[in-house]
Amino acid sequence: MDITDLTVHELMKKMSNKELSSEEVIKAYIDRIDEKEKDVKAFVTTLCDEALNTAREIDKKKNNGEKLSNLAGIPIGIKDNICTKGIKTTCSSKMLEDFISPYDATVVEKLNNENLIDLGKLNMDEFAMGASTEYSYFKKTSNPWNLNTVPGGSSGGSAAAVAANLVPWALGSDTGGSIRQPAAFCGVVGLKPTYGLVSRYGLVAFASSLDQIGPITKDVEDAAILLNIIAGHDEKDTTSYDIPKKDYTKALKNDVKGLKIGIPKEYFGEGINKEVKKKLEESIEIYKKLGAEVEEFSLDIADYALATYYIIACAEASSNLGRFDGIRYGHRTENYTNLRELFRNSRSEGFGPEVKRRIILGTYVLSSGYYDAYYKKAQQVRTLVKKEFDKAFEKYDILLTPTSPNVAFEIGTKSNNPLEMYLADICTVSVNIAGLPGISIPCGVNSDNMPIGMQLIGNKFEEEKILNVAYTFEQEYKFREKYKPNFSKK
Amino acid sequence: MADVSKEELLHIAKLADLNIKEDELDNYLSNLQDILNFANIVNNANTEGLEETIGENDKYNVFRKDEVKIFEDNKALLQNAKEQERNMFKIPKVIN
């Protein structure tokens, strides 16, 4: 038995009937990290020794009959923009290279309450700005399905680590597709919850009206389990909703009979790769066979949504990243004669080119003379996008699209062309613009054995529906039994 | 066609507290123009009569009691500052 290939729900069973101890699980992961991390480069910080000590303590407590959570002693990986007390949180930026958070993010507190063990902090595009993890200041993460390709981004470290069995599951964050797109590229499951379902307290802010933390997992059941842990109102995040707690695992019914699935035809038009389109069409046939009612309709907002996204996200980023001045935390220049120079030189040395590009774009669209043409207009288009989705959800339970128009691309092929990189987000951003939940699940591989992702979009707070629809497909298609990453270098 | 001049770009960079080196200027300028040209698509959308979406949810103001809470771990707050003195952040002299 390969322990690291087990899902979390499988681990839970084996640990509760004492087939496996936490120490055995953590040791298996440490061996796996020793073997594969040099190829995948998913971690910014590994916490192997600390994890092993914690595992031994947890085993001891369990053996002494202490009542702990069913998840106690199971490891997890955390994207490096989620604050962990006493452990570096770098955002994969030179700016925060040495930053040690004085507090835990609310989601991290929740993981700690379950006695989950942090195996390390995972690589990402600097400040979550990117779609390939190539904009990390520290290293380029590789896709385990082909080491010469990107894992997607910005949560590329999280998705690659789950796909490579370096962690059983991970937390990511999603501002325009940063959980779903890397999940699709790496053949794993990625869920972006409804805006407001999960507290953002302790998530380093990129675009506050779009950011959400969510699970990246091996299968849908694990995503439901992790969502159970992290969802919930938090008085430290005023945008988090106070709604009754749900058990998302109960939604997994393996049944879509009579369910109405809408297919927005614009997402299957020009620009989508042929093999991706074919796999999606086959998946639609599977849903029909399983008894769902499928209908094509028009949702002509993808281009508007992408443009709107880059205006709003960059505007919010330019404001959010204003806090990095080299005084209280973050990089401080050695080259200054006055306060203004200290600010400017610290920021110019600490931020990478993509972050600077977005701050400049954001400052531009907010500056006088351009505010109305870009920012105000984008905020109106945001309303339009929401209304279009509202209309769609009057007719359909779920919308189905590709997660990305393409499979993972080769490292270095898009990093010098920012606009082309932005277009990789075309299928995912509208979900953030409208604040909806979306999940990406693998629905096959192309002729090069590269995974293809299917996105299921639900109405606000209808995570149960998208989880069930995803689960039903997964049980029928059995992706994990058919395909595995092979760490090739093609 | 978005027409951004070099002077305008430098002004924006100054507002954002960023230096742009002479040899980076052309690259940033062409990137900015490309992205703005793309972003101009929003102006094709028919938004007549539509309100702006401010924030993602309907809750505009959320109130709580204004209570003093003591954050015990002063040291953890200050540990990330490059310069500090007597439990305070230190900055260069502002007034001569």
What is the per-residue DSSP string for A136-195? Answer: -SS-PPPBTTBTTB---SSSHHHHHHHHTTSSSEEEEEESSSTTHHHHHHHTSEEEEPPT
- Taking CA atoms, what residue in B is nearest to A316? B55
Q: What percent of chain B has pLDDT over 90?
A: 49
**Taking each helix axis from N to C terminus, what angle separates A220-230 and A106-113, rounded to the nearest 10 degrees?**
110
Tokens 């953030």 belong to residue: A432
By the 8 A CB rule, do A112 and A21 touch?
A: no
| Distance of alpha carbon A169 from alpha carbon A74, whole angstroms | 10
Q: What average pLDDT score do residues A81-91 get?
A: 97
Cα dihedral sign, A138-A143-A146-A148:
negative
Taking every pair of C-alpha atoms in chain B, what is the biggest distance, in angstroms? 58
Contact call for residues A85 and B62 (beta carbons, < 8 A): no
What value does the mean pLDDT take over residues A51-62? Answer: 98
Question: What is the reported pLDDT for A294?
Answer: 98
Q: Name the 3-class secondary structure at A219.
A: coil
Q: Which of A154, A173, A199, A318 is catalytic?
A: A154
Distance in angstroms (rounded) separating the CA atoms of residues A142 and A134: 9
Does the bond joining B5 to the residue before it have cis omega, within 30 degrees of 0? no
pLDDT band at B59 (very low <50, low <70, confident <90, very high): low
Q: Which CATH superfamily is domain A3-256 in?
A: Amidase signature (AS) domain (3.90.1300.10)
pLDDT, residue A300, reads: 85
Mean of pLDDT values over A462-483: 98
For the segment A103-156, what is each residue's pLDDT rounded down to a tens digit?
A: 999 999 999 999 999 999 999 999 999 999 999 999 999 999 999 999 999 999
CA–CA min distance A209, chain B (Å): 5
Nearest Cα neighbor of A457 from A241, A299, A242 is A299
Pairing of strands A117-122, A43-46: antiparallel
Q: Which residues of A touch B12 (CB under 8 A)?
A: 360, 363-364, 367
Would an 8 Å CB–CB cutoff place A243 in contact with chain B? no
- Single-letter amino acid, residue A340: R
- Local confidence band at A421 (pLDDT 50, 70, 90 cut-offs): confident
Q: What is the mean pLDDT of chain A?
A: 96
The DSSP code for A231 is B
Select the residue of A304, A367, A419 nearest B15 (Cβ to Cβ).
Answer: A367
Cβ atoms of residues B59 and A242 within 8 Å: no
Q: How far apart are CA A462 and CA A467, in angstroms?
A: 9
Give the pLDDT band (50/70/90) at residue B65. confident
Query: Cα A156 from chain centroid?
Result: 8
pLDDT higher than threshold 70 for residue B56: no
So what's the pLDDT on residue A433?
Answer: 96
Subunit contact B52:A382, Cβ cutoff 8 A = yes
Q: What region does A197 belong to: left with phi over 0, alpha with psi -120 to 50, or beta? A: alpha
Q: Are the C-beta atoms of A157 and A151 separated by less than 8 Å?
A: yes
Is the pLDDT at B72 greater than 90, yes or no?
no
Q: Of B30, B42, B73, B74, which to mutate for an interface test with A (greatest number of A Cβ within 10 Å)?
A: B42
What is chain A's Cα-based Rg?
21
Q: What is the pLDDT of residue B15?
A: 96
DSSP classification of residue A100: B
Residue A454: pLDDT band by 50, 70, 90 thresholds? very high
- Provide the pLDDT for residue A23: 98
Which of A27-41, A132-146, B49-63 is predicted with the least confidence, judged by mean pLDDT?
B49-63
Instruction: Report residue A284 as tokens.
Output: 């639609």
Q: Which helix (H) or strand (E) holds A44?
A: strand A43-46
What pLDDT is attached to residue B94? Answer: 84
Matching residue, tokens 């992790």: A226
Taking Cα atoms as reference points, which of A41, A37, A40 lies closest to residue A139? Answer: A41
The per-residue pLDDT for B12 is 96
Over the stretch A38-53, which tens digit does the pLDDT of each residue have? 999 999 999 999 999 9
Percent share of chain A, pLDDT over 90: 94
The whole model's pTM is what? 0.97
Determine the average pLDDT of the residues in B34-56. 88
Q: What average pLDDT does the segment A417-428 reach? A: 87
Got the DSSP string for A322-339? GG-SSSSSS---S--SSH
Q: What is the mean pLDDT of residues A399-423?
A: 92
User: A-chain residues within 8 Å CB-CB of B53?
Assistant: 379-380, 382-383, 386
Q: Is the pLDDT of residue A415 over 90?
A: no
State mean pLDDT over B2-14.
92
pLDDT in tens, A142-196: 999 999 999 999 999 999 999 999 999 999 999 999 999 999 999 999 999 999 9
- Do A232 and A199 contact (CB within 8 A), yes or no? yes
Q: What pLDDT does A419 receive? A: 84
* Tokens coding A376: 């105000």
Instruction: Give the helix/strand (H/E) hosting A29.
Output: helix A22-40
Band (A461; pLDDT cuts 50, 70, 90) = very high
Whether residue A202 contacts residue A104, with contact meaning beta carbons closer than 8 Å, is answered with yes
User: Mean pLDDT of all residues in chain B?
Assistant: 88
Q: How far is CA A3 from CA A20, A300, A436, A475, in A?
A: 9, 46, 35, 21
Is the per-residue pLDDT at A378 higher than 90? Answer: yes
- Give the whole-angstrom CA distance, residue A381 versus residue A361: 18
> pLDDT at residue B57 above 70?
no
Q: Is the pLDDT of residue B1 over 60?
A: no
Residue tagged 């701050």 (tokens) = A359
> For chain A, which residues make up each domain, given as ranges?
3-256
Per-residue confidence band for B2, with pLDDT thresholds at 50, 70 and 90: low
